[in-house]
Structure 1
């Protein structure tokens, strides 16, 4: 008998035996209801809190059908899906007694089962009622193990369940065309992004673009996205940066028999990353630390061999370089393209595969500190030799290796910051406008730190505008904005924020400084500079004649500057509106003085 035929017969016999064993094992599992329910938390990527759990099922430990994919594949092969899924749902609902009523519960449902008459008769409804669980928190997670032949009727079936209060989630979105069609036809409340799209998303710009497209689609369609399979901090941080609201994966928590919460360190990271994301609105390339956008790629001892480096590059095709370390200190960079060039030489493989790559590394790599601003790093990056222009930038913190930045990341973040700032800035002064001002005020109120808020208002400005024209009025506004920023910078204020409320109103927020001398200095400079915007004749008489609101001519003094200051001394402010109201009261006192002045609450 030919060897090929013999092998085929052996495989056929083995498959038959396995099939028979799986059949009897499945029958035993269903008869004994020997299914273990486990639960994996779904986490808010805004605050790290658990919002719900996905109910998962496992076969008997040590069984050939312990793994869920083997278990359900056998059930489908032997036409036992209904029986198996019924037991799985029963086991899951038996456990929800200990679950908070505001938690969502995701139940996996095969499309063929949801059409089954036994399913339609309300078996799930009876299980939910027995546990006093809110229907609106039950989400049927549709897994497309089989193709759906009739989307129109399938949609009607789903409408039947959603009308009762259930919600729908589509699993593995992005895994293929059929998944996208299912999404379009079913209009679910939740979209679960396939884990293959999440894997290494921090390193893959194509995946980032796809997830961003899904996110924008979900916002328009009022759907919520859940990213599955999150396994690294960098994947998590990238998803937070994009704006994905929910996540699930081994990094956050593994499936367990208990209702577990998220690991504390990961929760702290989520909170910190969201706080950092909010602060980005106030950042410019001049103020944003490079470390905040760095990628936490692992470092390697400089003594690793060429074969070890090549293995790492092959296992991580999206990585273009590795940082080499002495202890925890970076000493060089090995870029993939340059390494492969060395291997391609006549004796390259023989020479380098068993030797340390230390001799091949770039020991003049660009290494920057975590707190160095983006703009400064950009200048250093483009000043490199042309053959190193696109090499990774190594980031250190406290002298130790922290991570890397790609040139693409650097350019994208710089552009994004400029666009964000321009979008929310006053077009005349270029200063942050009302949206950013309100967010900053809310931020300092919540921080409980010591601060002072300075409200600037130009007196007699309307009369000047009417007499000298809007063009000259705009020049005064620009001068005022520049003057405030310059004096804050000259006073060596450690942390400050300047915004343009609108018209002739400005705001500054300062920390850790005596504001009285600062206000007086700003007023002194303003009173000198403002006179240059008047004719010599008007400067001499120190007023102009203009019509008031009632059309009557009136004498108006030279434009002066009022500064109303409120502080956090009594920590009495709960909202930006409270702070604004207090500033308005202080401003009234300033207006009673017919010259430039400041009042502190």
Structure 2
């Protein structure tokens, strides 16, 4: 029997005997680890010469039975989802793979109706048609019309395998999908491939601009997941998150916890200096080995793991030494290197002169220590400990990436005149204080009579006055506290301590002395300047002073940022009504 005939016979047996089952793989939010929905994947239930689903669908296309196979797979998926939900409505998103040419077929349009879905308890808005860009669309204009038809009935559209073909961007532009699924080959090794990283980063920017949700397929390692969370990809699926299963499942609990922790770290970066972020925030647990392990075994471990950069030699939690891949291979090179050392314990070759830091060491301090090492050790990984016990490692790449990320994020939201954090970072800092349920104070600083000064002395001198106040605010700020520039002559300090009122008094006292240098001697002697008021009439204006309004919250009295800022605005207004330097405190 010819191979083609055998394939056709097996294909017919699968379709006619309904030898298809559905397995489900969750599509997981990279914000909180919850499941957006599940992709329905078809699997064969009988032994045949057809090896995998790809070959099955190819054979169906060549045998003119693609419609029959798609109908069987689709119906099985809907039935199985219904049964998995214990005959109740499946309330999440169900992703169904559909060949675009089948979707454009009149039989599909006539058969896939809202009435058809009712028997399975699924609403149209919970159905997502996955259209792969690997399949060429015979009639693009007609297909676009079909897509619009289904969008109009509240069905959603996803472009599958984006990045696998050469016309994906055209397809995205033509049908404007709700979701884009990035091909697994684009995700594979993204943590160590700059080109893949840059491509996905550009897709994230595209999705944000176009309002399209991005889903990364084929996530198989922790590092891939970490990279995708850092990039801002919204959703992901893959074996690392959860394997396909006949039961409808969510991501593994450990993965959910990891995603939540990664997002917590990411939020912590916003508005934070590198001196305030501990190295534990970017530390990753890596494999450890005992000191008695043979050199040959360690060599095999490193050789078989392309992602491994080395390992730590640990005994009873203490790090005795490290093995870096490049140095280790160098030690075993040469004519007799490997045969000479292969049966020795790894402690014989491990490096005992390595950089180790405690988990509470700030990132910038670690960076300085790492860059101070000898040239031959400059790019070795860093060991992180907690109370002297092994916690994990940090690579130089991770360290530089995080430091750069902090700088870029902060620069994006800094006030261009003073370099202080702007409104976005101020709001974020206040929200952090509201969430932590510890005592904190928020202080608003405003320059009195600033407009009159600007009118008389000019904008350049006015900018210098603003920068003076920024300097004074920073000079007197307690360690690890926050000051931001709202804009104009308004500033906000946020302190997680109770020393706010004393801080105000120091700032106002220092500023009162230093501001006099920004006036000519006659104006200082007069104690006022003459300028036009808002009605165009000339009048006397007192010298610049500071109005401060502060709130000390010991008992979490404010439920949200809006409530707090409204109270702060009321206090500011009261403070501005007083002449000269003033502090209003609550």
TM-score under structure 1 length normalisation: 0.86
Per-residue CA deviation, residues 262-296 of structure 1 (Å, 9 max, x unaligned), is: 33332233233223222312122222223323344
The alpha-carbon deviation at position 139 of structure 1 amounts to 1.1
The alpha-carbon deviation at position 427 of structure 1 amounts to 1.5
How far apart are the structure 2 equivalents of 1:66 and 1:508? 65
How far apart are the structure 2 equivalents of 1:181 and 1:547? 61
Per-residue CA deviation, residues 500-538 of structure 1 (Å, 9 max, x unaligned), is: 111211101111324333322333333333334334444
The alpha-carbon deviation at position 150 of structure 1 amounts to 5.4
RMSD of equivalent CA atoms: 3.1
Per-residue CA deviation, residues 456-483 of structure 1 (Å, 9 max, x unaligned), is: 1122222233333333332322222222
Q: Retained in 1: the 8 A contact 2:284–2:393?
A: yes
Match of 1:546 among 531, 534, 537: 531
Q: Retained in 2: the 8 A contact 1:299–1:401?
A: no
Q: 1:232 to 1:343 in 2, by over 3 A?
A: same
The alpha-carbon deviation at position 561 of structure 1 amounts to 1.6
Tell me the equivalent position of 1:212.
Answer: 201
Q: Superposition pairs for residues 429-508 of structure 1, below 5 Å?
A: 429-489=418-478, 495-508=480-493
Q: Is 2:24 the partner of 1:35?
A: no
The alpha-carbon deviation at position 60 of structure 1 amounts to 2.8
Tell me the equivalent position of 1:323.
Answer: 312
The alpha-carbon deviation at position 29 of structure 1 amounts to 4.5
| Aligned-partner SS, 1:488 | coil
Q: 1:595 to 1:379 in 2, by over 3 A?
A: same
How far apart are the structure 2 equivalents of 1:426 and 1:595? 27
Tell me the equivalent position of 2:497.
Answer: 512
How far apart are the structure 2 equivalents of 1:360 and 1:148? 60
Q: Which moved more, 1:302-311 or 1:275-284?
A: 302-311
Q: 1:553 to 1:154 in 2, by over 3 A?
A: closer
How far apart are the structure 2 equivalents of 1:183 and 1:315? 39
The alpha-carbon deviation at position 100 of structure 1 amounts to 5.5
Per-residue CA deviation, residues 60-86 of structure 1 (Å, 9 max, x unaligned), is: 388887965575566557654433332
Q: Retained in 2: the 8 A contact 1:110–1:145?
A: no
Q: Is 2:394 the partner of 1:405?
A: yes
Q: 1:279 to 1:136 in 2, by over 3 A?
A: same
Tell me the equivalent position of 1:263.
Answer: 252
The alpha-carbon deviation at position 582 of structure 1 amounts to 1.0
Structure 2 stretches lacking a partner, 5+ long: none
Q: Superposition pairs for residues 276-355 of structure 1, below 5 Å?
A: 276-355=265-344
Q: 1:314 to 1:177 in 2, by over 3 A?
A: farther
Q: 1:185 to 1:586 in 2, by over 3 A?
A: closer
| Aligned-partner SS, 1:41 | strand
Q: Retained in 2: the 8 A contact 1:227–1:247?
A: yes
How far apart are the structure 2 equivalents of 1:363 and 1:124? 69
The alpha-carbon deviation at position 315 of structure 1 amounts to 2.9
Q: Retained in 1: the 8 A contact 2:134–2:165?
A: no
Q: Which moved more, 1:570-579 or 1:239-248?
A: 570-579
Tell me the equivalent position of 2:508.
Answer: 523
Q: 1:516 to 1:421 in 2, by over 3 A?
A: same
Q: Is 2:580 the partner of 1:591?
A: no
Match of 1:573 among 558, 562, 567: 558
Q: Retained in 1: the 8 A contact 2:271–2:409?
A: no
Match of 1:142 among 123, 131, 149: 131
The alpha-carbon deviation at position 587 of structure 1 amounts to 1.7
Q: Retained in 2: the 8 A contact 1:458–1:561?
A: yes
Q: Which moved more, 1:129-138 or 1:47-56?
A: 129-138
Per-residue CA deviation, residues 517-562 of structure 1 (Å, 9 max, x unaligned), is: 3322333333333334334444444333333223333333332222
| Aligned-partner SS, 1:416 | helix
How far apart are the structure 2 equivalents of 1:150 and 1:322? 55
Q: 1:507 to 1:569 in 2, by over 3 A?
A: same
Q: Retained in 2: the 8 A contact 1:60–1:66?
A: no
Count of aligned residue pairs for this structure pair: 582
Q: Retained in 2: the 8 A contact 1:59–1:65?
A: no
Tell me the equivalent position of 2:39.
Answer: 54
Tell me the equivalent position of 1:9.
Answer: none
Q: 1:117 to 1:473 in 2, by over 3 A?
A: closer
| Aligned-partner SS, 1:526 | helix
| Aligned-partner SS, 2:390 | strand
Q: 1:81 to 1:243 in 2, by over 3 A?
A: same
The alpha-carbon deviation at position 453 of structure 1 amounts to 0.7
Structure 1 stretches lacking a partner, 5+ long: 1-12
Q: Which moved more, 1:269-278 or 1:536-545?
A: 536-545
Q: Which moved more, 1:35-44 or 1:70-79?
A: 70-79
TM-score under structure 2 length normalisation: 0.89
The alpha-carbon deviation at position 322 of structure 1 amounts to 3.0
Q: Is 2:184 the partner of 1:199?
A: no
Q: Which moved more, 1:59-68 or 1:282-291?
A: 59-68
